[in-house]
Chain A
Amino acid sequence: MSLHVDVRKRLDSFTLDVSFTAGKGITSLLGASGCGKSMTLKFIAGIEKPDEGRIELDGRVLFDSAAGINLPPQKRRVGYLFQNYALFPNMTVRQNILCGLNREKDRAVKETRLREMLRMMQLEGLEERKPAQLSGGQQQRTALARILVNDPQILLLDEPFSALDAHLRDSLKVEMRDLLERFGREVLMVTHDRNEAYNMSREIAVMDKGRLLTSKPTKELFADPGSIPAAVLTGCKNITAARRVDAHTVEVPEWGVRLETKQRVEERLCAVGIRAHYFNPAAQQNRFPVRFVEEMEEPFETIIQFRYAAQRGDSPAIWWRLAKDKKPPQFPGELGIAAANILLLYE
């Protein structure tokens, strides 16, 4: 049970070149907007055609440029949840879901499966409504019902929560995750939101300008993004050029410091990243004198900007983020970072 993608297509500003394998469970494609992640979903669904390559799903070839195979979307058995849900506006909830049952010819079976799906997705009582008369969450459930009733072999989700109000998002994420676990097949989700990717997925593939940088289990990726774009996409605020000194020491010229690392440093190191949460006035490792620059408050956290005493003038201030109740009464003269919290970034 797995999806293999290895495709290329020339686009206006870059060449999209992705190759990955996704297994059971939720895999996220994380990337900035316009990096080609939605296009990748369209390749898999057969809506867009790659210039060359191969796409295979559970042993079925969906696309193979060398063999001249390009199955139409209708034959791919791929469920695609669009960002705007793409419900047919002229049809009721019932008619929309029946569209997903078009392969089933037996009317009684159709009706039973429709009923089951309406119950499962908590849409009972809304059958005769038009999409415009539904809330965002109901629209999402209707679109999912229409897709799931169609019994797809894989589910593609394109920014599934972006059309929803912020306060709805978290509860729907939990709902959707449980539902997708019951679905029990491959799910590929596209998102630019690191929290969404972290909440929902078992594995994350990071995309940047049409290329797939890394593909790792979620927690590993956040612990060790490995490249600058991946560090940025996972929310690392402090990234600066660095050089290897020895197996466990790096030199950071802009900040005027040398940092001790827990991970082994390789020769091709180009930068280090330090998450804003990881500075600690109590840490003894990598402890250096600092100078306060600015402070910004959020409801539950404080963001402090500071500079190292020896920091170069053109280098931007460093971000430190901490819970308000953990904030020391006075700005400390020195800050440390645990050696394990230095992210080593390579080309």
Chain B
Amino acid sequence: MNFDWYPLINSLRIAAISCVLVFFTGIFFAYYAARLPRTVKGVLDVILTLPMVLPPTVCGYFLLLVFGVKRPLGIFLMQFGVKFVMTWYGGVLAAAVVAFPLMYRTARGAFESFDKTLAYSGQTLGLSNTYIFWRIRMPACRQGIMAGTVLAFARALGEYGATSMLIGYTPGKTATISTTVYQLWRTDDEKGAMFWVLINLAISTVVLLSVNMLEARQKKAVRA
């Protein structure tokens, strides 16, 4: 049997890579946005959250406006052999843009509820700000950050609108699970569509179950 597993591999790598990107950029912006003056913060917040409320196809449209092969930035990047249109790593870009607000907003909420006196007492004890960030702030905000990461991963895995705008559907090249489901259903391959739906369900279930298990183990550790 020569079944084409490409959509699975492609979806997983797009979701994983974009999730890692979004993890760091989301935390970075969440951390620094909290320290900006109120007006700047308000404007930045709107811009950073927009992809969450815009239809994904609109996000895809904007991405094409910026990275399209006939646009200045697209042409510029082409000189280095980088092309986000119709490539699998364009899918990473699309998924990251759409998933970013989920990470950013949950991380920001976690940082905002962080007890500042913990950071202050660390500083007066002579601990470096880097140490305080990674060893005190991050562990204290772990739940929020984990929740954000899972949401971002799930969103990236299920991304359809922006992905189909930017990278389309080419079997063996840019196909992802969600674009494959649509393509198979459109071409009356009910069985094939159902197969990929089940695969998607399985991945989502595994992700959610492992998150719940992690949380339960953490609570146990705290209680012990």
Contacts and interface: CB of A to CB of B under 8 A. Distances in A.
Interface of A: 42, 45-47, 72-80, 82-84, 86, 88-90, 99-100, 102-103, 130, 132, 143, 146-147, 150, 152
Contacts of B127: 74, 99, 102
A84 B125 contact: no
A45 B119 CA distance: 13
A147 B125 contact: yes
Chain B interface size range: 10 to 19
Contacts, number: 63
A132 B222 contact: yes
14 contacts: A45-B124, A47-B124, A74-B124, A75-B126, A77-B126, A80-B120, A84-B115, A86-B121, A88-B135, A89-B140, A90-B136, A102-B125, A146-B125, A152-B124
Nearest to A74: B126
B123 A47 contact: yes
A88 B222 contact: no
A34 B121 CA distance: 21
Most buried by B among A78, A102, A103: A102
A76 B135 CA distance: 22
Contact of B121 (A75, A82, A90, A103): A82
Contacts of B136: 88, 90
B122 interface: yes
B139 interface: yes
B128 A74 contact: yes
Contact of B139 (A73, A79, A90, A150): A90
Contacts of A88: 118, 122, 135-136, 140
A46 B136 CA distance: 19
Most buried by B among A42, A45, A46, A82: A82
Contacts of B222: 130, 132
A102 B135 CA distance: 13
Interface in B110-148: 115, 117-118, 120-128, 131, 135-136, 139-140
Given A84-B117, A88-B140, 17 more contacts: A42-B120, A46-B123, A47-B120, A47-B124, A80-B120, A86-B117, A86-B120, A86-B121, A88-B122, A90-B136, A90-B139, A99-B122, A102-B125, A102-B126, A103-B126, A146-B125, A150-B125
B219 to A, nearest CB: 12
Given A102-B126, A102-B127, A73 B120 contact: yes
A90 to B, nearest CB: 4
Contacts of A89: 118, 140
A334 B68 CA distance: 97
Q: Main SS of chain A's interface residues?
A: loop
B123 A74 contact: yes
B126 to A, nearest CB: 5
A80 B140 contact: no
A86 B115 contact: yes
A73 B121 CA distance: 9
Nearest to B138: A90
Contacts of B128: 74
B107 to A, nearest CB: 17
A84 B121 CA distance: 11
Most buried by B among A45, A82, A86, A103: A86
Nearest to B120: A47
A83 B118 CA distance: 11
B139 A80 contact: no
A80 B121 contact: yes
Contacts of A102: 125-127, 131
A44 B65 CA distance: 53
Nearest to A143: B121
A100 B136 CA distance: 14
B125 A82 contact: no
Given A74-B128, A130-B222, A132-B222, A86 B123 contact: no
B124 A78 contact: yes
Nearest to B136: A88
Contact of B120 (A82, A100, A130, A132): A82
A72 B120 CA distance: 11
A15 B215 CA distance: 47
B118 A86 contact: yes
Contacts of B125: 99-100, 102, 146-147, 150
Contacts of A74: 123-124, 126-128
Given A80-B120, A82-B120, A132-B222, A150 B126 contact: yes
Interface in B190-224: 222
A130 B220 CA distance: 13
B218 to A, nearest CB: 10
A74 B121 CA distance: 10
A75 B140 CA distance: 25
A89 B122 CA distance: 12
A146 B120 CA distance: 14
B117 A72 contact: no
Contacts of A90: 136, 139-140
Contacts of A146: 125
A82 B222 CA distance: 23
A79 B121 CA distance: 8
A286 to B, nearest CB: 50
